Amino acid sequence: MGPAALAVTRLTLTRFRGYDGARLEPDHRPVVLTGPNGAGKTNLLEAVSFLAPGRGLRGAKLAEVERIGSPTGAGWAVAAVLDTPMGPVEIGTGREAGAHGSGSGDRDRRVVRIDGHPAKGQTVLAEHVAVVWLTPQMDRLFLEGSSGRRRFLDRLVFGFDPAHAGRLSRYEHALRERARLLRDGRVDDGWLTGLEDQMATTGMAVAAARRDVVQRLRAACGRAVGPFPGADLAVQGTVERWLDEGPALAAEDALRQSLRDSRRLDSDTGGAAVGPHKSDLSVRHAQKDMPAALCSTGEQKALLIAIMLANARLLAAERGAAPLLLLDEVAAHLDPHRREALFDEILALGAQAWMTGTDDNVFAPLGSAAKRFHIEDATVTPA
């Protein structure tokens, strides 16, 4: 294992889901969490997922994370000490005590502290930590709508280009503001034009960053690795077509013009007809030359694992460390051959992979190469 790895070395939860409080001290090894159903394994992975920008691996509202039964409005917190290629960092995040509101809107922001200092927003997290996850819900990633695939892709992009998180959040903010103006029937042309200008510049930067990462990932994913299939990746959408057809500035102008032209339509639909929020990640099984959606559930999972591993290999090479990998209930559903190949890859990458399961035996091949914890009734004990 190289010296420059990314690893959580201390994790503390306060009023988080089923946990009143919990503290664990992993090291650079992969982490294995075992325990019965409902013990709190996924909750623990969710806590780690909040070290990245976004709503975590359950896409949760801030209020629903707070432990039921806590004094109302007591808040919740996840604190972590990490080793990163840039040195150690302490991250604190959560919902502050006394935060009220519907769970959306500016009054109910997730609070972030880096080394004890309040950060302006959560997008700064991407500069310190890269996290990707695979959960049982993602079994439907290729079958459902494009928003899940966009979020999956954006998480991959955060790892290569931490500024992507901020751009995406500015784009989405402008998109919401414009929708609000259009809905309220406010025809303040200067205001609308300003928002559309911001959408055009940040939106095309978002599209360009996704395209860049997908092009690099394509090369890394194209060939089968061990028992995992090759994956053929592409981002598809109108803005991507514009980027293919001409210079970035022309694509930006095209988006600006398209937003101006679709104001009336967009005021009816409440969105925007064109933009990177409509793009989709297309994935094909390379050897079968078949869209992922038509592959078997097992093949789809193998494709996702292949993409995650390729992403981790690239990140390790380009940025000095593989991302944290959160693999919820993944190992038990692989045949022994693929399972051992996954373990071998994780160890070769030096990635701190957090793996859950109900059966200890599944993780036996890892021997002492993994750090183990047992979880029962929201109590974590080193095993």
Binding site for ligand ADP (CB under 6 A): 17-18, 35, 37-43, 64, 66-68
Residue 279: both structure tokens together = 């793009």
Least distance between Mg ion and beta carbon 41 (Å): 5
What does the CA dihedral 111, 117, 120, 126 come to, rounded to 10 degrees?
A: -80
Which of Mg ion, ligand ADP, none does 135 bind, CB closer than 5 to 8 A by kind?
A: none
Closest CA to 45 of 361, 352, 370, 317: 352
Least distance between ligand ADP and beta carbon 253 (Å): 47
Least distance between Mg ion and beta carbon 13 (Å): 15
Which of Mg ion, ligand ADP, none does 67 bind, CB closer than 5 to 8 A by kind?
A: ligand ADP
Q: What are phi and psi of 104, to 5 degrees?
A: -135, 170
Which of Mg ion, ligand ADP, none does 256 bind, CB closer than 5 to 8 A by kind?
A: none
Query: Between residues 43 and 201, which has the closer beta carbon with respect to Mg ion?
Result: 43
Query: Between residues 152 and 354, which has the closer beta carbon with respect to Mg ion?
Result: 354
Interaction of residue 42 with Mg ion, rule CB under 5 A: yes
Closest CA to 358 of 18, 31, 33: 33
Q: What are phi and psi of 61, to 5 degrees?
A: -80, 150
Which of Mg ion, ligand ADP, none does 123 bind, CB closer than 5 to 8 A by kind?
A: none
Least distance between ligand ADP and beta carbon 138 (Å): 15
The DSSP element (H or E) to which 14 belongs, if any, is strand 7-16
**Residues whose CB falls within 8 Å of the CB of residue 354, separated by 6 or more in sequence, listed in order:** 30, 31, 33, 44, 45, 48, 324, 325, 326, 327
Hey, how many other C-beta atoms are within 10 angstroms of the C-beta on 307?
A: 25
Site size for Mg ion, by CB under 5 A?
2
Which of Mg ion, ligand ADP, none does 338 bind, CB closer than 5 to 8 A by kind?
A: none
Least distance between Mg ion and beta carbon 42 (Å): 3
DSSP string, 205-249: HHHHHHHHHHHHHHHHHSS-BTTBPPEEEEEESHHHHHHHHS-HH
Least distance between ligand ADP and beta carbon 362 (Å): 15
Which of Mg ion, ligand ADP, none does 75 bind, CB closer than 5 to 8 A by kind?
A: none
Binding footprint of Mg ion on the chain (CB under 5 A) = 41-42
